[in-house]
Structure 1
Amino acid sequence: MFNSISTQANKLLHLTKKNSTASKTKIITITSGKGGVGKSTFTANMAYLLARRGYKIAIVDADIGLANMQVLFDIKPRLTLFDYIEGRNTINEIISSTAYNNLDLVAGKSGYQYANLKNSLVLSRVVDEIKGLNKYDIVLIDTGAGLNEYVQEFLSVSNNILALTTTDPSALTDVYALMKMLSIDKDRLLICFNHTKNYKIGETIANSLVNLAKKNRLNHNFVVKYIGNVSTSANITTTSRLRKLFAHEFINDEITKQLHLVIDSLLENIH
């Protein structure tokens, strides 16, 4: 399935690029495999810190059927990604401003039944049109849990894929499944650990995943790059419940400092 989606999406992007100017925008798809690892909260706070550094950022809430991002940013968007998908509005019209400078959101829609639509590659066009605006430095795509065809399509159109995971065995199993799938068509995967006590623990587990991949003879050219960790903190839970960002409310907290380090490594490794 992923091979088929990847081939179709790449053909579409190749055709659209022929008619568009070069874009400065970098696309980063953030995925997890397993739900419940804190991916949306992580993405929202990382976007905020990138925006504070002066980067122009957009988030695409690509968790089909849910709408976590608008809750985290405490906004009620008039239009969503699915108004574009259904052909009622343009890309520019569905982009919502947030309360933070340099940070916009393309919101999702809770309960949306995307399966009713037949043209899956509309998702690829969403990404390409946002990139074509050439107004953002980075677009973060927050995918849903699992590796369904919609997640796979967003993965297929991005050269920068970041997997967020925890030390939970089922989460690690899902990340390894992601590695196996991506190693067929992609050349690398960035990994970050959430709710993990220190950098070294994440590094050790990441190395174990690499060794397992070698043992099972995955594509030897496929690179897994560990970019850091964020520890567990009650501040994360508290701020999310209050519809606030921990990186904004607790600027000097250890978890915010850890996320800054993750961002430093991310910026060094995206292309």
Structure 2
Amino acid sequence: MLDAKLSQAKKLFNITSQNEQLPNSKTKLLTITSGKGGVGKSTFTANIAHILSKKNLKVLVLDADIGLANMQVLFDIRPQYTLFDYINGQKNLKEIIVDTRYKNISLIAGKSGYQYSSNSNSFIFSRLVLDILALNIYDILIVDTGAGLNDYVKEFLRVSTNILAITSTDPSALTDVYSLIKMLSIEKNGLMLCFNHTKSDNIGIAISNSLINLGKKNRLKDDFMIKYIGSVPSSEKISSIARTRKIFVNEFPFDEVAVKLNNVVDNLLKSI
């Protein structure tokens, strides 16, 4: 059964690689990635999902951090099934989708500590994304990838039509995000870039321009576009709220961080 799924997934992946869009689906696909861990990507994703839901958009979050899933913690739910129950053929797609306590937000959970065989990496995750889009239920599917550029992350990126990279001004984070840019420039037309734990938009704009100039210097694809969509400052409240399994923008909607996140979402919606 799994071999048949893998074969079908590969065919669908090849079609999607050529068209970069699933026909007859209203669902916008957004993949959030980082290159480096520790930049607050998952917390950022949960808050972005909440802001989108408050705009009356129906959002599905897919926790694609293979082996280190934590989105169910942020949404304070204990899902009975995970994406692996679907991948392994034990449950159908609708059975692994769980509603959160936030209106318009649903989740497909990952499984922390799960060791998925590297020999099984044959477009099966791309197939999962395509099957979700084929449901034609949600306005936006947000895929929260793991850190780094392992094979699992690359597979989600390959099938994605809209990619948002979250980074910080830390030199190692910038090195990793530039590696991401180089990889994406081969097959994609661009990515959106947002800075976390960054004091001002001016810093984010300046570093984005530096990355663009570095890409030109190293002769990356001419039509590859890096689009800066905002910066979010640090706040001790974010980590403390996350520990209580609550969503920051829901608890502090008028905080500076919440205002900046709303600006990021406004720019995001203009881009997708």
**Shorter-chain TM-score range:** over 0.9
Aligned partners of 2:18, 2:265: CA distance in 1, in Å? 32
Structure 1 vs Structure 2 CA RMSD: 1.9
% same residue: 57
Equivalent in the alignment of 2:176: 174
Q: Deviations over 1:171-217 (max 9, x none)?
A: 00000000000000000110000000011111100100000000111
Equivalent in the alignment of 1:156: 158
Equivalent in the alignment of 1:40: 42
Residue identity matched to 1:11: N
Structure 1 counterpart of 2:228, from 204, 226, 229: 226
Residue identity matched to 2:174: L
Cα 1:129–1:163, aligned 2, differ >3 Å: closer, same or farther? same
Aligned partners of 2:98, 2:166: CA distance in 1, in Å? 25
User: Does the 8 Å CA contact 1:187/1:223 hold for their aligned counterparts?
Assistant: yes
User: Match of 1:70, SS?
Assistant: helix
Equivalent in the alignment of 1:4: none
Q: Deviations over 1:114-159 (max 9, x none)?
A: 1255253110111011101101000000000000110000000111
Aligned partners of 2:238, 2:85: CA distance in 1, in Å? 31
Q: Deviations over 1:10-63 (max 9, x none)?
A: 415379999x86000010000000000000000000001100110000000000
Aligned partners of 1:121, 1:12: CA distance in 2, in Å? 12
Equivalent in the alignment of 2:266: 264
Cα 1:224–1:158, aligned 2, differ >3 Å: closer, same or farther? same
Equivalent in the alignment of 2:251: 249
Structure 2 counterpart of 1:208, from 194, 210, 217: 210
User: Match of 1:179, SS?
Assistant: helix
Cα 1:117–1:97, aligned 2, differ >3 Å: closer, same or farther? farther
User: Does the 8 Å CA contact 1:233/1:255 hold for their aligned counterparts?
Assistant: yes
Cα 1:182–1:64, aligned 2, differ >3 Å: closer, same or farther? same
Instruction: Mark the runs of 5 or more structure 1 residues left unpaired by the alignment.
Output: 1-6
The alignment of Structure 1 onto Structure 2 pairs a total of residues equal to 263
TM-score normalised by structure 2 residue count: 0.93
Equivalent in the alignment of 2:103: 101
Matches within 5 A, 1:16-31: 22-31=24-33
Aligned partners of 2:271, 2:125: CA distance in 1, in Å? 25
Which stretches of structure 1, 4 residues or more, deviate above 2 A after TM superposition?
7-10, 12-18
Q: 117-126 or 258-267: which moved more?
A: 117-126
